[in-house]
Structure 1
């Protein structure tokens, strides 16, 4: 169903792919938007329990799109160094394909806690708890991952192998 990566030598291991997802703080969610135009939107996220979680207003283009058609892709760029003299970039990135859904109940609370820990771990526990329990004006959505690949520049592969 999903294409094999063409440059297989540049495929990241599962461990390296999840490390990228854990390390990055933002990515681009791509979905089918209004009038079937592609809609790509930058989001903050957390990779938690094998899923991508993000928050959203209860109304807007992003949430309307994923409710209309839950099939999405999500991409993060971990490294993107321009190497002018070689006419290239040294890159590392991950792309995820899956289905998005709004989460409720315990899953919502756990995902919200994970988001708060990722972005505000330095805040007092009482403040984090208040934020999590007091935020009722937004959705938490999950991407149930169906396919995920990481890829890096051949130069990074060669450096690992030498």
Structure 2
């Protein structure tokens, strides 16, 4: 697992990293596919209590890949803006390395489903009905981070983007 950024001047501070993780709508998870291929899949998620939670159907290719994958990385792009004048991208991104674990505890699963509903459907009156329904059929898995890093575009790119 690679941990340190080569371009340390582009590292994001911990508060910005946390904000990107908590507010971005989706990220891309790397899973072990078939025949040595990686399966990278965009997923909605929620970050709560220092853990990233995903949910889905307990069947299908994604579920099969979850069964084969323990160590993974999860990439989140919090910002992306093409800056033509410098032929570059003004970006902010976060990369989380860690281990996937199925959520088998009912209370933890319920808490994660509620957190997902609050993130994606805040204030919707029938959220609890859907949560209780999902509790019986949804597969829930968590990513327990071992390392988190964040990176942003170089200063000259960010400065050029401000002029747009």
TM more than 0.5: yes
3-state secondary structure, aligned to 1:36? coil
Cα pair 1:2 1:147 within 8 Å, conserved: no
Check the 8 A contact 2:83/2:157 in 1, yes or no.
no
Which consecutive residues of structure 1, in runs of 5 or more, have no partner in the other structure?
none
Structure 1-normalised TM-score? Answer: 0.91
Would you say the 8 A contact 1:67–1:101 is kept in 2?
A: no
CA contact under 8 A between 1:25 and 1:44: conserved in structure 2?
yes
Q: What is the 5 A alignment of 1:71-86?
A: 71-86=71-86
CA deviations over 1:84-120 (Å, ceiling 9, x no partner)? 1111010000011111121021111111110010001
User: After superposition, what is the alpha-carbon deviation per residue over 1:116-156, rounded to whole angstroms, capped at 9, x for unaligned?
Assistant: 100011201xx111111111221111001111101111228
Aligned-pair CA distance for 1:36: 1.8
Shift of 1:12: 0.9
Matched, 1:49 2:52: no
Query: Any runs of at least 4 consecutive aligned residues in structure 1 with deviations exceeding 4 A, and if so which?
Result: 156-159
Aligned partners of 2:146, 2:157: CA distance in 1, in Å? 26
On the 8 A contact 1:12/1:152 being kept in 2, the answer is yes
Residue 110, structure 1, aligned to residue 111, structure 2: yes
